[in-house]
């Protein structure tokens, strides 16, 4: 890795962490195109820069969370299923899921297709989106957590599956996005904490690695801040179809590249 790689991956993380396109898949794809070898430091770097994106959410929604204390228990309820699945499947996730391009491509395509199908149901008034997150029940929060647990598969998208699961329970798009932002905080911080514990700190302090981490973190923070502010406004007036189409196109492009 070099400084340019750190800068590019920081942008990729910031752009994709909170959009329903799978940041993990985009980081894996970007690393392959940049010919960055997968190493212990690279794995740590990709997890660490997610913390920059999380800091952007804290900047934007700190006072919102303080004002909506009723959401705290719901967020914990949604986090638990993901934590359990992540711990149980940790080795499979890293050794199998992250190294399987066919799995990533399939996930990209399938979730993109579900976006389009679901939005057609909404357009044809088969599904009505009229619920706010301050009316969420603990059962609904648990179902959202079960949905998020599917995001251990690269390409599914944590934000995407959370928003889709919530829309399936009739929550408004922008409300679903906000909840996905808030749920990302414990989810990603827990993943980052686990990775930090398991990483040899000698790897982190080698050569320019601390500089790379700082650049990736800062770029991810700034980019994510801008994306989150834009995304909420977008969902208040638009559907998820554009993201569904993007996922289908990317999946087809990657399939052609793989073949």
- pLDDT tens per residue, range 90-113: 778 777 777 788 899 999 999 999
Q: Which residues pair with 171 in a beta bridge?
A: 131
CB neighbourhood size of 47 (10 A): 19
186 pLDDT band, cuts 50/70/90, is very high
Q: How far apart are CA 169 and CA 233, in angstroms?
A: 21
Confidence of residue 139 (pLDDT cuts 50, 70, 90): very high
**Could you tell me the residue range of the domain that residue 191 belongs to?**
3-258
Does pTM top 0.85 for this prediction? yes
Nearest to 141 by CA among 164, 162, 112: 162
Coil, helix or strand for 199? Answer: coil
HSE of 86, CA atoms in CB hemisphere, 13 A:
23
The total number of structural domains that make up the chain: 1
Which of 38-42, 170-174, 189-193 bottoms out in mean pLDDT, i.e. has the lowest? 38-42
pLDDT score at 15: 94
pLDDT at 210 over 80: yes
Percent of the chain with pLDDT over 70: 98
> Which pLDDT value is given to residue 1?
79
**Nearest Cα residue to 258 out of 33, 60, 79:** 33
pLDDT (0 to 100) of residue 185: 92
Q: What is the mean pLDDT of residues 144-169?
A: 93
Number of residues that make up the chain: 259
Average pLDDT over the chain, rounded to an integer = 90
């Amino acid at each position: 890795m070099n400084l340019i790689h750190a800068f590019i991956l920081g942008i990729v993380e910031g752009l994709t962490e909170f959009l329903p396109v799978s940041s993990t898949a985009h980081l894996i794809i970007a690393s392959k195109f940049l010919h960055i070898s997968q190493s212990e430091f690279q794995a740590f770097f990709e997890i660490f820069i997610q913390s920059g994106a999380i800091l952007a959410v804290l900047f934007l929604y700190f006072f919102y969370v303080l004002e909506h204390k009723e959401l705290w228990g719901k967020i914990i309820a949604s986090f638990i299923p993901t934590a359990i699945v992540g711990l149980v499947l940790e080795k499979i996730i890293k050794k199998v899921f992250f190294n399987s391009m066919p799995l990533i491509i399939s996930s990209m395509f399938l979730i993109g297709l579900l976006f389009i199908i679901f939005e057609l149901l909404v357009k044809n008034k088969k599904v009505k989106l009229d619920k706010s997150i301050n009316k969420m029940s603990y059962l609904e929060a648990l179902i959202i957590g079960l949905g998020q647990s599917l995001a251990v598969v690269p390409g599914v998208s944590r934000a995407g599956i959370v928003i889709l699961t919530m829309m399936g329970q009739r929550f408004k798009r922008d409300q679903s996005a906000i909840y996905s932002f808030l749920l990302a905080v414990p989810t990603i911080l827990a993943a980052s904490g686990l990775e930090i514990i398991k990483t040899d700190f000698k790897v982190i302090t080698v050569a320019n690695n601390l500089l790379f981490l700082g650049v990736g973190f800062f770029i991810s923070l700034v980019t994510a801040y801008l994306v989150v502010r834009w995304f909420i406004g977008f969902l208040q007036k638009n559907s998820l179809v554009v993201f569904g189409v993007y996922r289908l196109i990317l999946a087809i492009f990657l399939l052609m590249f793989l073949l």
